[in-house]
Amino acid sequence: MTSPVLDALEARLQEALGDRVESIASARGELTIEVGRENLLDVCQVLRDGDGFRFEMLMDLCGVDYLDYGRAEWMTESATGSGFSRGVNRQQSNGSEPAADGRRFAVVYHLLSISLNRRLRLRTFAADSEPPMVDSVVGIWPSANWFEREAFDLFGILFVGHPDLRRLLTDYGFIGHPFRRDFPLIGNVEVRYDPEKGRVIYQPVSIEPRTLVARVIREDTRREPEAEQGETGGHG
């Protein structure tokens, strides 16, 4: 079921942005548009200032890691020894192939038009490099400052032009980016207080990697037809 408001917004986006929009999708009452990173700042400026858009507020910005996206690793009817173990087996994780065409890391922007009471989701993919890079939108929406720092900290996405791109949630000595799909569940280092040195020190993790088996769907005998009939008959 389509919405006249969404249909009108989609038509307006196509008219104003043209081929700068790579795709438009409608789901759950919201539009999601995808643009190339080379057009990101121009598109964001139009979305904020353009007539019929007026997306004055950036509600949220988040990173996404599409490594192994769409691969069926976890079973639901029977157990597998390979599911969650990839989170602690770094060698196995690093052997995974990146997403197709270098489209591994994406940045998603959630926009709100206060004056028109509309929402829009915008997505762009970072440059295929290490670190992955996307232009900062702090100059368009100042609220992106902390959001971009968070995405940098957790995913390692570098926002070019950010005024103060530092880690936000992890410690200064933290190694790696914990929301990347190939980051081990046990981490890389652990922190402890050394009484001899009289200070906190960092050292390699001492936890032994272990294989975790994904949850499976089990038969629940409590709700078998015979049991339900017996319960019903008992109340007769």
Q: What is the mean pLDDT of residues 163-187?
A: 87
Query: What are the C-alpha distances in Å from 152 to residues 45, 178, 184, 212?
Result: 22, 11, 18, 29
Work out the pLDDT band at 78, boundaries 50, 70, 90: low
Q: What is the mean pLDDT of residues 21-43?
A: 92
The pairs formed by 129-132 with CB atoms below 8 angstroms and a separation of 24 or more are 131/156, 131/157, 131/158, 132/104, 132/105, 132/156, 132/157, 132/158
Query: Which residue reads 């040195």 in tokens?
Result: 197
**The pLDDT of residue 224:** 60
Residues in contact with 5: Cβ distance below 8 Å, sequence separation at least 6, in sequence order: 118
**Average model confidence (pLDDT) across the chain:** 82
Q: What is the pTM of this model?
A: 0.75
**The pLDDT of residue 44:** 97
DSSP state letters, 61-105: EEEEE-TTTT-----SSS--SSTGGGGT-HHHHHTSPPPGGG--E
The 10 Å CB-count burial string (b at 16+, else e) for 172-210 is: eebeebbbbbbbbbbbeeeeeeeeeeeeeeeeeeeeeee
**The pLDDT of residue 206:** 80
Work out the pLDDT band at 68, boundaries 50, 70, 90: confident
Share of the chain above pLDDT 90, in %: 53
Cα–Cα distance measured from residue 70 to residue 67, given in angstroms and rounded to the nearest whole number? 9
Query: What are the C-alpha distances in Å from 136 to residues 56, 108, 129, 224?
Result: 16, 12, 16, 57
Q: Give me the domains of the chain, ranges plus CATH numbers.
A: 1-66+104-166 (3.30.460.80)
- Least confidently predicted of 4-13, 33-42, 45-54, 213-222: 213-222
Q: Where are the beta strands (DSSP E) in the chain?
A: 21-27, 30-35, 57-65, 105-113, 118-125, 133-135, 158-160, 189-194, 199-204
Which residue did the predictor score with more confidence, 9 or 233? 9
